[in-house]
A and B are shown apart, each in its own frame.
Chain A
């Protein structure tokens, strides 16, 4: 053996309107975990797709195990010994979990597929991650986090010499990340190599041996992880020395508007088998965090508030008036907005341009008779592209060709554009790079200061702490506590969300 496992030389990939990769190099040793870092739109996913045959490179060479390879499809790459978890989990949500885990290698019995063996095997695979779910259930019925874990488990199970993980932890919480890292270390000890993409600096420093940084489609450099500080890394990522980062932690909200009137007041809202009765209040200028483990009911609350799930009981008052929101349309009319967790299913509308994706909800709010002119649409889109630094070749680029983080920004823009009184954001910074994350947090705090009420859901507790002036603690589909102002700390929240009560998925 000896030599590198994977060598990528002078790779180019050009899309209409943008050069995603220009003269990129990348090298991977055996038995190492290699971080691939860069801002949103830097070209990480594109590089991975070129390596795994989703895209064909326009120039350059890829050498695996000393031999040049020309993968033509992910399946081909799998056969060459590269298994991949893509950023947008591409499992089949209309198949069962077990079927997804078995795709391409179903155990066959005397007649057709041996379902029993398949299901047992699937349960076994998931056990390594302590995931105890019904594997015969459709994958689509589970949360994004579970889907992500299933995708990871599937890739790990292939036992390939090279494993590629594109932002596998974007919707996982600390517990699950630890489980994933345990498995990654095990693979590493067995001599496998792993490419790991993430925007979480802590995770990179915890798990990787070396880091390659891309910026704007270009190769910036390769570094041994222990030789770097966080600040070094961030300055490489952003391409500037970052004094700005020093006051990164200084965003603090804790605003008291002096306005005690409730913007929304929820009493006893519930839905059978979905969410137990809960009370919740948001005043003008509040940023209310929802903190809880996976499956504790955070997303459920956002859906009940916004009418994407119909509550079966309880009352909702908006500015003192009782209303019944049974559809997003009604919620929008009452100046609510929800940037949903599941970007792929509930967020981006592929085929439509960035501009159309941004104006959609605002158009709904304005109604059938007030068509927003193309000129106005373009103006709006340009405003938000600037405000959120969305990386796109223009307002008319189809959204599905944006990088993951930039798609997320477009969805956020869609809801900001409706200028809501209550903005509900479910994992708004999922897949967003360090710099942009800070900008978005700043923006939310700024909006709250102007009087917007915000409900903030994030599995990153740090982020909840930084922005919120009130935090509800969730467990098992119940609101079990509330933290105010100075009581809010990472420590306190960690303790409270895990206190007694077992977690259920």
Chain B
């Protein structure tokens, strides 16, 4: 007889279920979904929409962490991307800024592409630092985390860039097929990541690099290329996330946008069961992790709990999930199963 292990994803799912159950009992019409203005409307839909920026980031972060790395620069890259986007909307000219914002119809394509290309280059910079220069991922991305935010502020000249741009606003606020467009973008990133890692050997190589980089090298895996890829993908995702956010708030505040978002992204990955030491990953788990964080935040808001408590409650939930997930805990559970098997006589 085979001993069975509880899959890692079971716990985060359980936690998400608990939070939803809590809302089912104590929050009125939390699960109500209506149609309004031709699209779906309700708390759940709101959660999907609000979770999108973190979700996009966290999915890419999953691959970075799977290689045994980390990317703490994503918040800053997001700010740079958002700043560039609003600059482009403004035609690069911030001189006539008014507090009310103004209308300037920059072509949609440039508003999207220029920030994304910049973000990809920033990701490539991280990748080169880690794979070719050989810096510790934490240190390498710390450089961009600090310098990046400064750069974003330089770009916007320290001002908050507000704008109106009907086309671009759709990115963060629009609905398609009745669903929030940012959420569809996040789905797109998940599909893209999954396609690359499943249709090519990239997924295998990412895990191999995370599991044992020198053995991967010995086996001929182009470990540098793999590392370069995950950081580029992370940069791209952070950039896209920046577009969503900037579009949603119709403005870029270089000093504050995306601040500490890298922490949420990393948390979501870890809650989702991807081990920090790399070698394995679970994108599905990451999605659940993001949903847990966002549902929790929304719950706290709708319950009228002072926002100061958000962080505290978040911290408690995270700690609980992580403890349950920890190897020690799994070992204890596993052992109990083992004992039962011996007693049952099926072990022999």
Is A136 positioned at the interface, with any CB of B under 8 Å from its CB? no
Contacts of A359 in B (CB 8 A): 204
Task: Identify which of B14-22, B101-109, B218-226, B301-309 touches chain A.
Answer: B218-226
Given contacts A19-B347, A347-B215, contact A393 B2 (CB under 8 A): yes
The 8 A CB mask of A1-33 against B (1 = contact, 0 = none) is 000000000001111110100110000000000
Q: In this complex, what residue of A is CB-closest to B343?
A: A59
Contacts of A157 in B (CB 8 A): none
Is A365 positioned at the interface, with any CB of B under 8 Å from its CB? yes
Contacts of A499 in B (CB 8 A): none
CB <8 Å contact, A14 and B200? no
In the complex the two chains form, what is the Cα distance from A414 to B212 in whole Å? 15
CB <8 Å contact, A371 and B200? yes
Size of interface on A: residues with Cβ below 8 Å to B: 41
Contacts of B338 in A (CB 8 A): 13-15, 58
In the complex the two chains form, what is the Cα distance from A48 to B4 in whole Å? 25
Given contacts A349-B211, A368-B201, contact A58 B339 (CB under 8 A): yes
- Nearest-neighbour CB distance to chain B for A155, whole angstroms, equals 26
Contacts of B219 in A (CB 8 A): 328, 349, 360-361, 364, 414
The 8 A CB mask of B321-348 against A (1 = contact, 0 = none) is 0000000000000110011011000011
Given contacts A17-B3, A350-B211, A363-B204, contact A308 B348 (CB under 8 A): no
In the complex the two chains form, what is the Cα distance from A15 to B330 in whole Å? 13
Contacts of B218 in A (CB 8 A): 308, 328, 338, 340, 346-347
Contacts of B348 in A (CB 8 A): 19, 22-23
Contacts of B198 in A (CB 8 A): 371
Which residues, 172 to 225 on B, are CB-close (under 8 Å) to A? 198-202, 204, 207-208, 210-212, 214-222
Is A352 positioned at the interface, with any CB of B under 8 Å from its CB? yes
- Nearest-neighbour CB distance to chain A for B248, whole angstroms, equals 37
CB <8 Å contact, B342 and A12? yes
In the complex the two chains form, what is the Cα distance from A328 to B214 in whole Å? 11
CB <8 Å contact, B334 and A360? no
In the complex the two chains form, what is the Cα distance from A452 to B303 in whole Å? 72
Which residues, 103 to 147 on B, are CB-close (under 8 Å) to A? none
Given contacts A19-B347, A58-B342, A368-B200, contact A351 B214 (CB under 8 A): no
CB <8 Å contact, B201 and A346? no
In the complex the two chains form, what is the Cα distance from A94 to B83 in whole Å? 43
Q: In this complex, what residue of B is CB-closest to A415?
A: B219
Given contacts A347-B215, A351-B207, A371-B200, contact A328 B342 (CB under 8 A): no
- Nearest-neighbour CB distance to chain B for A293, whole angstroms, equals 24
Is B75 positioned at the interface, with any CB of A under 8 Å from its CB? no
Q: In this complex, what residue of B is CB-closest to A370?
A: B201
Which residues, 318 to 370 on A, are CB-close (under 8 Å) to B? 327-329, 331-332, 338, 340, 345-352, 356, 359-361, 363-365, 368-369
Contacts of A349 in B (CB 8 A): 207-208, 211-212, 215-216, 219, 279
In the complex the two chains form, what is the Cα distance from A332 to B221 in whole Å? 10
Contacts of A348 in B (CB 8 A): 212, 215
- Nearest-neighbour CB distance to chain B for A80, whole angstroms, equals 21
The 8 A CB mask of A49-68 against B (1 = contact, 0 = none) is 00000001011000000000
Q: In this complex, what residue of B is CB-closest to A353?
A: B207
Given contacts A16-B3, A22-B348, A368-B201, contact A345 B207 (CB under 8 A): no
In the complex the two chains form, what is the Cα distance from A56 to B216 in whole Å? 32
Contacts of B341 in A (CB 8 A): 14, 58
In the complex the two chains form, what is the Cα distance from A59 to B216 in whole Å? 39
In the complex the two chains form, what is the Cα distance from A309 to B334 in whole Å? 43
Q: In this complex, what residue of A is CB-closest to B279?
A: A351
CB <8 Å contact, B339 and A351? no
Contacts of A308 in B (CB 8 A): 217-218
CB <8 Å contact, B208 and A360? yes
Which residues, 240 to 292 on B, are CB-close (under 8 Å) to A? 278-280
The 8 A CB mask of A374-393 against B (1 = contact, 0 = none) is 00000000000000000001
CB <8 Å contact, A350 and B217? no
In the complex the two chains form, what is the Cα distance from A72 to B317 in whole Å? 30
Contacts of A58 in B (CB 8 A): 335, 338-339, 341-342, 347
CB <8 Å contact, B5 and A16? yes
Given contacts A12-B347, A14-B3, A14-B338, contact A346 B214 (CB under 8 A): yes
Q: In this complex, what residue of B is CB-closest to A411?
A: B215
Residues of B within 8 A of A (CB): 2-5, 198-202, 204, 207-208, 210-212, 214-222, 278-280, 334-335, 338-339, 341-342, 347-348
Given contacts A361-B220, A364-B221, 4 further A-B contacts (CB under 8 A): A351-B279, A352-B204, A360-B204, A360-B221
